[in-house]
Structure 1
């Protein structure tokens, strides 16, 4: 049986930041700065005021979520405990392991959420019903 993930397994990662008076630079290398190989990258932007994104868990996919521009909160839930992480720096990423419920909310104007994913898109990897998610967590899936 896999270990059951907890919101405390999610962690903030600080990426390298090269300071320069002409503008700063940050970079990410798979397996160096994040704990998986990158299979997919996507970004979320132009989120209308008050809207939320996410509201699901992944059965296999790990992610790192970055606020490339602006800010937003990531709400995490493991079926028992909850945690909110505020992202507002392009050199920080939030590692979210598989089987943690996540929802992005409180987007600032012009916020861009940049997501590095460990798996290609597969609709069947999503758990979109929270009651079904809690059942899976109780069963230790």
Structure 2
């Protein structure tokens, strides 16, 4: 089963420009409790390198592009985010990395929970232990 799950975001537009509506439990398959965006990432800098115990996210490049790598401990896949009407759904216990940000990249992330440092797994070896331990799921 592929780790790459893209969500189509409803896009409306005409000669005046485009509009994308993002709604909890509609275009986004969860209640949005937090959102943040990453911008101004310097050339050659990568971000992420963590997983979450219990958090769902949608990542959308609202401008520019970046390469996302997702890893569930068995499979490692990559996808380019480069359009504002596609979101990448990232589930629980998925290691994520963000690479190759374009100079103009703005990456919007919608999260199912509020920020909680205790939910982060920042060490890949620890992530692998959780990913293979059925008692933690």
TM-score w.r.t. structure 2 length?
0.95
CA contact (8 A) 1:72 1:107 kept: yes
Candidates 28, 39, 55, aligned match of 1:34:
28
Cα distance, 1:19 vs structure 2 = 2.1
CA contact (8 A) 1:10 1:97 kept: no
CA contact (8 A) 1:64 1:95 kept: yes
> Within 2, Cα distance between the matches of 1:24 and 1:33?
17
> Within 1, Cα distance between the matches of 2:47 and 2:107?
10
For the aligned residue pairs, the C-alpha RMSD in angstroms reads 1.0
Matched, 1:46 2:40: yes
Candidates 109, 117, 127, aligned match of 2:121:
127
Count of residues in Structure 1 that have an aligned counterpart in Structure 2: 135
CA gap of 1:35–1:9, structure 2 versus 1, over 3 A, is: farther
CA contact (8 A) 2:3 2:70 kept: no
> Within 2, Cα distance between the matches of 1:17 and 1:138?
39
| Residue pairs, 1:1-141, within 5 angstroms | 8-140=2-134, 141=136
List gaps (5 residues or longer) in structure 1.
1-5
List gaps (5 residues or longer) in structure 2.
none
Bigger fraction of residues in strand: 2
SS in structure 2 at match of 1:19: strand
Moved over 4 A (4+): none
